[in-house]
Each structure stands twice: as structure tokens, then as C-alpha cells.
Amino acid sequence: MTAIRGWVVRVRAGAGTAAGALCAALLLLTALTGCGTAPERPATKNGDTAPLAGRSTTPSLPVPRGRGSRLPSDFNGDGHRDLVLNDLVKSPTDSHGDDAGIGIVYGTETGTGSATSAARALEPAVRQLLTPRTHGAEVQGVLPAAFDAEASCDLDKDGYTDLIVATDPPYDGIGRPPVPLQLLFGSPTGITGKAVVLRIPEKARYGNDWPDHPVCGDFDGDGSTDLAVTASAGRVSFLRGPFSRTGAPRTAAAPVAGGGPALAAPAGAADTDGDGTDDLVVLPRTRTPGAGAKGKLLLGGPGGPGRPGGPYTFDAVTAPPAPVLPAGETKPVTDVLVHADFDGDERPDTVTRTHRGERADVIALYAATKNPAGARPLITFSTSLFLP
């Protein structure tokens, strides 16, 4: 099965603008692929259009220079939320199954969304690929093979979102394992430079479990972003921000009790009780994005998270009807990736990934709606854009 490479489709809502949206999409695709005249393609369900194969080297646009912002997941600080993608399609020639890396699609002023939010959506032409080879930090002289985005927040308080990545450092199984989390820092031009290993002081560790499930938040209410990660025996390592560019927290204390196998940030407002400090959700297992789950709150305070806060429930996010993938031997699977505001209307939008194996996929951004069953994507694209 051959992956569709480099296609991007944009659709604007409203019957009156359908023809214009299709023309705009074709013109943009022509500009991106360098082709002469874009061939016709049939319409499909949900107002989307059938994928169009692009050239294997679809040009990309530079990341716009930002001035800093407080918006979540804004790596270049230009005031538009960016999208992080862990699962990218692989080339048919990839026989080793190596980690394809992390893809970032930037939101820009020229990104195309709905008719009412045309200046606040994702622009797949403005993208960045982060790989272990180009961005990972060596541990004991070894580059990581695994590279997965875990969380994003402004750790060093400079106005640019930073990325926390999970890796697989060498470990012989004896004693306390190394810290597998690495930090990549944002800048006016997005993520730059090599990662640094997150420094967790020995006094902030407990047992021999791998530090995992990083959650960002201002857990002590001092205005800086902190990190919470899991430790053994239901403990939580609390690392106070801001963090240095070497990966070190400002301070750290002994792990606190009340944690569990997995941690997550509350959906919506992170300060669930309105006391000025962010809270944590403790879960019995890793939560799948968009899925319902039940856990318990660990409330923040001047000393960080540590006070029991009662039960907490994540509501499931209803996935809109998936865009069509090219015909194949297996049935496509649709996953909800993110439920957050991308178009600037302060309502949570939904990003999904529909995929068939590791060779074909489509990412779709849907505006917030009370009727997900009838939603049409603002934009669709394939992660094959990240293929070299």
C-alpha cells in the first residue's frame, strides 16, 4: 500500500462558498506542489474532497516570527495555537520501523479556517519535523530511538511554549533508571536546538520506577509553570518552575503522596477549585485522548499538589464523521487527538486522525459545534507532508 504524499485540502463552511473553497484549495495545492494545473477530484462526504497526491517533496513555508504569548502550545509565540503530532505515516521504503519523529503544524495569520475564523487556523505548509537524530539529546553517548511528545508549556517563562518529550535512554535494569524525559525549547521561530534531559534532583525521586506522565501547571500559585511526574508507590515528583535551559527546575522537594500510575491535567480549567493553584488528576492508567475516564483530584497549594480533592471524570469527546481515506485492505481507524481552541473563538475544536496502518492517514480539524455528527472539517491534510 502506498501512502498519499503531500496533499492538503481546505474547505470553508456554507453552500454559497463551496465552489470558491474548492478553487482556493486547488490553487493552494498547486502552489505547494509546484504542479501546473491541479487535476479534478470528486467530492466526498462531509463536504470534504478526495485526497490528491502531491509531489514527494512538497515545499514548506518558514515559521512566522512571534513576539511571545501566553497561549497554550504556541511554540513561536505568534498568538496562534500549534498542533503536535506523534503518529506520522511512514515511507513505503522504511523497512526498519524507526520512529518517524514528531510533527508540528503551526497556526498562522494566513492559516485558512471557516469563513468566520480564516485568520486563526492551522497552516500545514508551515510545519516542522523533530527527530531523535536531529533534536534528541544523547544519554551515555546514545541518541534516543523513541521520541514522543508528552506535554507542552512555557517552562522557562520566556513567552514561548516548550515541549516535553519521552525517550528511551540506556538502562541495564539495575538500580534507579535515568530520566527519560527531555525538553525542547520554543523561540520566536518555533522549536530550535537540541533537547536537554530533564533534571530531577535525587531528593525529588522515589523508588526505581521511570519518571513519566509529565503534567504542566502552576501547582503552587507563584506564576511560574511547574512540572509533576510520576514516582514509585503512588508518589508525585513536584518540580518548581521556572526551568533553566539546562533542564533544571528552580527547586524541588521530596515526592508527595496521593499520586498513582498515571497523571493528567484536568479538562478545561486546570484550577478546579478556584484557589489560584492548578490541580492534577490521578488515574489508574494512561488516558487515551478524547476518551472518558475516571480518576481523583490532587489539589494544588503553596506546597504544590498534595491535598485530596475527590473524584474527577473526563467526558468522552464525540468524534465527527471521518474524512475518506483511499481504498485499502483494512478498515480505517479514527482517533481524537486534541480537543482545544484552534480558531480563536474560545470554544474547543476537535482534531482527529483517521489512519490505515502506518502508510496512509488524514488529519482533520473541526470547529466547535453542538452537532458533531453533522460537522465538516475546516481543514484536512496527511502527515505524509513530513516525509523527506
- Whether the predicted pLDDT of 117 surpasses 80: no
Q: What is the pLDDT of residue 271?
A: 98
What does the pLDDT average to over 189-196?
Answer: 97
Phi-psi region of 223 (alpha: psi -120 to 50; beta: other; left: phi over 0): left
What percent of the chain has pLDDT above 70? 81
Q: What is the pLDDT of residue 16?
A: 36
Q: Which helix (H) or strand (E) holds 305?
A: none
Q: What is the pLDDT of residue 19?
A: 38
Distance of CA 265 to the CA centre of its chain: 14
- DSSP letters, 245-260, are TTS--SEE-SPBSS--
- Helix, strand or coil, per DSSP, at residue 156: coil
Q: How confident is the model at residue 343 (pLDDT cuts 50, 70, 90)?
A: confident
Q: In whole angstroms, what is the distance from residue 62 CA to residue 50 CA?
A: 27
Supply φ then ψ for residue 46, to 5 degrees: 65, 15
Q: How confident is the model at residue 97 (pLDDT cuts 50, 70, 90)?
A: low
What does the pLDDT average to over 199-217?
Answer: 97
What does the pLDDT average to over 27-48?
Answer: 34
18/350: higher pLDDT? 350
Q: In whole angstroms, what is the distance from residue 254 CA to residue 165 CA?
A: 23
Q: By the 8 A CB rule, do 170 and 139 touch? A: yes
Q: What is the pLDDT of residue 316?
A: 95
Q: By the 8 A CB rule, do 373 and 342 touch? A: no
Supply φ then ψ for residue 134, to 5 degrees: -90, -25
What percent of the chain has pLDDT above 90? 71
**Per-residue cell: 47:** 463536504
Q: How confident is the model at residue 359 (pLDDT cuts 50, 70, 90)?
A: confident
Q: What is the pLDDT of residue 60?
A: 87
Average pLDDT, the chain: 84
Based on its alpha-carbon atoms, the radius of gyration of the chain, rounded to whole angstroms, reads: 21
Which of 27-36, 55-64, 277-286: highest mean pLDDT?
Answer: 277-286
Nearest CA-CA partner of 191 in 137, 240, 128: 128
155/41: higher pLDDT? 155
What does the pLDDT average to over 177-196?
Answer: 97
- Whether the predicted pLDDT of 4 surpasses 70: no
What does the pLDDT average to over 145-149?
Answer: 96
pLDDT tens string 259-316 = 999 999 999 899 999 999 999 999 999 999 999 999 999 999 999 999 999 999 999 9
Amino acid, res. 252: A
pLDDT tens string 77-86 = 999 999 999 9
